[in-house]
Amino acid sequence: MRLFRGVVILTNYVVFLAITTNTCTRVATAQFQNTDEQVMRNCSYLVSIETTCTKGAETSDHVSLRFGDAKSNEILVHNLNSKHASRVDPLDPQLLDDLPRKPFQACMVDQFRVEGQCVDSPICYLYLKLAGADDWRPASALVRVLDPLRSHLSSGSFYFRRYLPRRVWHGSEYCDPEITPFGLRYRRKSFANRSPKL
């Protein structure tokens, strides 16, 4: 009888070990897959760009956009005009329309929905590039992260209020400030043409 109980206890222990090992393997595999999915996952952003009311401030030329965080997560859009989502009135932020219209008209705020890699820290830089012969004078830009769990990573406003130079990246950066006797100084990025198109 004792031998039989010993065999039953040993058998139960072996079965318990097999189940525990299998469960641990499945949990570890699931965690590894979740990590891979998070790395490969894209996030949605809503970019709002206001054009000033100055005469001749509008443009019909192609506008490129790049923004990102301090951890080198960057979103690059070569033709922002094609991502136009809606237009809003700056004095009344209620949505005016969602019909496809020409973006970057004077005294208007245009919104663009952009997909790209997820940022891990608050968006701290934004640059625009104008290609063409028009003079365009944006007032400000703002990027909102649409994922509710990451909405705290949305940017503050980036102010321009001047005509953009043509065919060069122009913008603002608030990442990693350096303290100087004259106040905070922010380093400007220099860009190479290595980022993927969206």
Sheet order of strands, 109-117 included: 95-97, 84-88, 109-117, 42-51, 138-145, 158-159
Nearest to 62 by CA among 90, 83, 85: 83
Say which CATH topology domain 42-185 has.
Answer: Lipoxygenase-1 (2.60.60)
In the three-class reduction of DSSP (H, G, I as helix; E, B as strand; rest coil), residue 97 is classed as strand
What share of the chain has pLDDT > 90, as a percent? 48
If one compares 81 and 5, the residue with the highest pLDDT of the two is 81
DSSP assignment letter at 106? T
Tokens of 83: 């991502």
pLDDT at 145 over 90: yes
pLDDT at 106 over 50: yes
Side chain identity at residue 78, one-letter code: H
Domain residue ranges of the chain, discontinuous segments joined by +:
1-40, 42-185
Distances (CA, A) of 5 to 1, 2, 13, 185: 6, 5, 12, 77
Cα–Cα distance measured from residue 145 to residue 153, given in angstroms and rounded to the nearest whole number: 7
Instruction: Look at the block and give the residue holding tokens 């891990």.
Output: 120
pLDDT at 37: 47
How many helices and strands in the chain, by DSSP H and E?
1, 12
Tokens of 22: 């299998």
pLDDT at 171: 92
pLDDT at 47 over 80: yes
pLDDT at 187: 64
165-186 pLDDT, tens digit per residue, is 999 999 988 887 767 677 666 6
Side chain identity at residue 112, one-letter code: F
Indicate the pTM of the whole model. 0.69
Q: What is the mean pLDDT of the chain?
A: 78
